[in-house]
């Protein structure tokens, strides 16, 4: 199938889904209080822009995510490097980090709630914790994966330790480290939105919760779609950025 035809089929599928949902509600099979018909969702958008300041909510969520990811990257790079340099530490903590990565760390948010209170700090802290774990793991993994030969070449040129790190270790480990950043950003975003929703504070997650409690169902659907869109843009944007860095 050619690229154009795939795109056409995707759009046709989406159109079919929209028409189908509209028909389900219009035909009385599903209550509009459960499933907002697509036309109603579209009609809710101007109200969201006017009364709820939707673009600002997007920026708040993205801002929290960016702050969390930046902190997570700083912690993750330093900790990952430390675990690489100090091998016994690395061997000791590696299984713990793996277990933490798979564990439901987001459930620890009440802990931050107790320490920071119901504030943006709690949201960002949760993003930092969940985002830093994959970055630490991938940082160490990337550095450990650098072939010995490359390091030996560097040493034979009598590079200083700093130059060895800058000119050999980091470039050779870059693809794996970047994977860590990507995972960290996605985890931070997911947890930021999740905690926003849970504690009714901040941007998009808070808005979904608000609209549910106010029973503004079509607007709520519109914001959920907006969250899907934001995660897709972030996810795709990172993929494109990575491809571009690799080719240049």
Partner 1 sequence: MNPARPVLTAGRVQVLTLLAAWAAWEGLARSGWLYSGVVPSSLLVLRALASQLASGEFYRHLAVTLGEVGVGFAVASLAGVAVGLALGARRVLGAVLDPYVQAIATTPKIVFLPIAMLVFGVGPESKAALGALSGFFPVVISTEAGMRLMSPVHVRVGRSFNLSPRQMVTKIYLPSLVRPIVSGMRLGLGVTVIGVLLGEIKLSNTGLGFLAIEHYNHYRVPEMYALLLVIFALAVAVNALMSRLAGD
Q: Which residues are near partner 1 by CB under 8 A?
A: 1, 6, 9-10, 13-14, 33-35, 88-89, 91-93, 96, 99, 102-104, 106-108, 110-111, 113-115, 186, 189-191, 193-194, 197-198, 204-205, 208-209, 211-212, 217, 220-221, 224, 227-229, 231-232, 234-235
Closest to 126 in 3D by CA, of 142, 135, 113: 113
Q: Give whichever of 81 and 212 is closer to partner 1, judged by the CB atom.
A: 212
Residue 192 C-beta: closest distance to partner 1, Å: 8
30: left (phi over 0), alpha (psi -120 to 50) or beta: beta
Residue 56 C-beta: closest distance to partner 1, Å: 18
Question: How far is the C-alpha of 25 from the C-alpha of 31, rounded, in Å?
Answer: 6
Residue 89 C-beta: closest distance to partner 1, Å: 6
Q: Give whichever of 137 and 168 is closer to partner 1, judged by the CB atom.
A: 137
Q: Each residue of 174-211: b (16+ CB within 10 Å) or e?
A: eebbbbbbbbbbbbbbbbbbbbbbbbebbbbbbbbbbb
Residue 92 C-beta: closest distance to partner 1, Å: 4
Q: Give whichever of 111 and 240 is closer to partner 1, judged by the CB atom.
A: 111
Residue 9 C-beta: closest distance to partner 1, Å: 5
- 122 CB-contact burial (10 Å; exposed 0-12 / middle 13-18 / buried 19+): buried
Q: Give whichever of 110 and 147 is closer to partner 1, judged by the CB atom.
A: 110
Query: CA 18: distance to chain centroid?
Result: 27
Long-range residue pairs from 24-30, CB within 8 A, at least 24 positions apart, any chain: none
């Amino acid at each position: 199938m050619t690229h154009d035809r795939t795109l056409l089929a995707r759009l046709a599928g989406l159109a079919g889904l929209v028409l189908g949902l509209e028909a389900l509600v219009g035909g009385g099979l599903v209550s509009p209080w459960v499933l907002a018909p697509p036309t109603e969702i579209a009609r809710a958008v101007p109200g969201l822009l006017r009364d709820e300041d939707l673009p600002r909510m997007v920026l708040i969520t993205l801002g929290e995510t960016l702050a969390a990811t930046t902190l997570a990257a700083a912690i993750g790079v330093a900790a990952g490097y430390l675990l690489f340099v100090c091998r016994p530490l690395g061997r000791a903590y590696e299984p713990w980090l793996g277990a933490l990565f798979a564990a439901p760390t987001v459930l620890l948010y009440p802990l931050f709630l107790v320490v920071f209170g119901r504030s943006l700090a709690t949201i960002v802290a949760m993003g930092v914790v969940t985002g830093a774990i994959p970055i630490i793991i991938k940082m160490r993994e990337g550095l450990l994966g650098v072939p010995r030969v490359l390091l030996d070449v560097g040493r034979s040129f009598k590079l200083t330790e700093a130059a060895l790190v800058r000119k050999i270790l980091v470039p050779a480990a870059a693809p794996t480290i970047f994977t860590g950043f990507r995972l960290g950003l996605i985890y931070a975003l997911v947890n930021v939105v999740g905690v926003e929703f849970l504690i009714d504070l901040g941007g998009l997650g808070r808005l979904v919760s608000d609209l549910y409690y106010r029973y503004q169902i079509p607007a709520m659907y519109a914001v959920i779609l907006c969250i899907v869109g934001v995660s897709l843009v972030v996810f795709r944007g990172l993929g494109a950025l990575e491809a571009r860095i690799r080719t240049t």
